[in-house]
A and B are shown apart, each in its own frame.
Chain A
């Protein structure tokens, strides 16, 4: 499976965080869910710090 994009990871994070505020919350699952959320957040932070822009100056001439 290909690596998820930053946006997909952010969507996952939001979904995971929502669980803690929802009626589905179960204390017995909370620790493992919290560990998953922390890991995903660290992953996103790493992605954000590593992302670089690609700047390309076009060879095309626009003076004629």
Chain B
């Protein structure tokens, strides 16, 4: 006998079969008839040139703004409602293609900017004396290898904990959110860094996930990002406290360069040596100046004494009778009266002479 179902039983069996066959299926298509009911239920159709699938999800699950015309990939489960209508229950939705990604990015950027999530005044500075870092990245990613290589070359003494997560794809945002939660609740990290090397717009789309961007903005520990290349800008970058253009650039931003530091220390010592040498030279100059000054003073005093002596010598010379004799005069000694013998002293002779006559001389 053929199986017979009630409508409820039949729908239940169909749903079980659908769940078994297509429990976790991806569909890519264009959004149309997008609407939000009662502020929490999201309805839209996913269509291509020929067909259309009705989709349903909660607003909470919608991690990026949607609009009609956007191309998306949805993950979910097909289902028949109790009214017999076929519907696709969406768990995740991700824009695909450059146009849709750009549109979703701009819509979410506008919304979060208006909420103040990217406000410059909310940005925290790089912690001083940084020793503990939490890294969120895929350990297989080239960007991660670059980051580790550069921090090891530039600095030491860091305690780096790495949370290995996906950094692209549908599961990446939730994994990175869990890693953020881990570091905030169970680590002593002073800074959380999120890194990923370059990739296509699709690859980097996970960094524009609304829940992830909000988790970054809400992190108690400052967050720094180094995602993609110089030209890439993600909403995760805008929400982060510190943003670098690449993982390598981030490594350079958060670590001092020990080679530069060694050069600086060596220069300090060389400069100090020059200061000491200069001060010694200055002291020698000062000492020499003092010696010169004292020498001049002594010389002046000696000159003065010599001058005094010379002057006195001249006086003495002038008073010396020998000098008078030398000029031709003579000294007559003895009683000057006729018949007496007197002594006449000249410069080179002593003469005894008898006085013959003495006349008074009138002085003119």
Q: Does A associate with B in a complex?
A: yes
Stretch at the interface among B89-97, B238-246, B267-275: B267-275
Q: Which of A31, A49, A54 has the most C-beta atoms of chain B within 10 angstroms of its own C-beta?
A: A54
Of the residues A20, A53, A54, contact of B272 by C-beta under 8 Å: A20
How many Å from the CB of A44 to the closest CB on chain B? 5
Stretch at the interface among B2-10, B66-74, B105-113, B155-163: B155-163
Query: For chain B, what secondary structure do more than half of its interface residues adopt (helix, strand, loop), or is it mixed?
Result: helix
CB <8 Å contact, A53 and B156: yes
CB <8 Å contact, A17 and B262: no
Q: How far is the CA of A60 from the CA of B280 in the complex (A)?
A: 63
Of the residues B165, B176, B262, contact of A45 by C-beta under 8 Å: B262
Q: How far is the CA of A21 from the CA of B268 in the complex (A)?
A: 12
CB <8 Å contact, B175 and A56: no
B interface residues, how many (CB within 8 angstroms):
38
CB <8 Å contact, A51 and B272: no
CB <8 Å contact, A50 and B272: no
Q: How far is the CA of A52 from the CA of B334 in the complex (A)?
A: 119
Query: Across the interface, which residues of A come within 8 angstroms of B272, CB to CB?
Result: 17, 20, 34, 37
CB <8 Å contact, A55 and B156: no
Q: Mark A35-64, 1 if CB is under 8 A from B, else 0.
A: 001100100110011111111111010110
Query: Across the interface, which residues of B come within 8 angstroms of A63, CB to CB?
Result: 165-166, 171, 175
CB <8 Å contact, A60 and B182: yes
Q: How far is the CA of A20 from the CA of B178 in the complex (A)?
A: 53
Asked if B217 is at the interface (CB within 8 A of a chain A CB), the reply is no
CB <8 Å contact, A6 and B157: yes
List residues 160-206 of chain B with CB under 8 A from any CB of chain A.
160-166, 171, 175-176, 178-179, 182
Asked if A2 is at the interface (CB within 8 A of a chain B CB), the reply is no
A interface residues, how many (CB within 8 angstroms):
30
Q: How far is the CA of A17 from the CA of B175 in the complex (A)?
A: 50
Of the residues B156, B176, B179, B265, contact of A52 by C-beta under 8 Å: B156
Query: Across the interface, which residues of A come within 8 angstroms of B273, CB to CB?
Result: 34
Of the residues A21, A30, A62, contact of B165 by C-beta under 8 Å: A62
Asked if A1 is at the interface (CB within 8 A of a chain B CB), the reply is no
Query: Across the interface, which residues of A come within 8 angstroms of B157, CB to CB?
Result: 6, 51-53
Query: Across the interface, which residues of A come within 8 angstroms of B161, CB to CB?
Result: 56, 58
Query: Across the interface, which residues of B come within 8 angstroms of A38, CB to CB?
Result: 269
CB <8 Å contact, B129 and A30: no
Of the residues A6, A17, A56, A62, contact of B268 by C-beta under 8 Å: A17
CB <8 Å contact, A41 and B179: no
> With A27-B279, A30-B279, A62-B165 in contact, is A37–B269 under 8 Å at CB?
yes
CB <8 Å contact, A56 and B179: no
How many Å from the CB of B339 to the closest CB on chain A? 91
Asked if B310 is at the interface (CB within 8 A of a chain A CB), the reply is no
Asked if B25 is at the interface (CB within 8 A of a chain A CB), the reply is no
Query: Across the interface, which residues of B come within 8 angstroms of A30, CB to CB?
Result: 276, 279-280
Q: How far is the CA of A21 from the CA of B152 in the complex (A)?
A: 35
CB <8 Å contact, A51 and B160: no
Q: Which of A7, A38, A58, A60 has the most C-beta atoms of chain B within 10 angstroms of its own C-beta?
A: A58
Q: How far is the CA of A60 from the CA of B164 in the complex (A)?
A: 8
CB <8 Å contact, B268 and A13: yes
The interface of chain B, by Cβ under 8 A from chain A, is 129, 139, 148, 151-152, 155-166, 171, 175-176, 178-179, 182, 258, 261-262, 265-266, 268-269, 271-273, 275-276, 279-280, 283
A-B contact pairs, 21 of them (CB 8 A): A17-B268, A17-B272, A30-B280, A37-B268, A41-B265, A41-B269, A48-B258, A48-B261, A51-B156, A51-B157, A53-B151, A53-B155, A54-B158, A54-B160, A56-B159, A57-B139, A57-B164, A58-B162, A58-B182, A62-B178, A62-B179
7 closest Cβ contacts across the A-B interface?
A: A51-B156, A53-B158, A62-B178, A62-B175, A48-B258, A51-B157, A41-B269
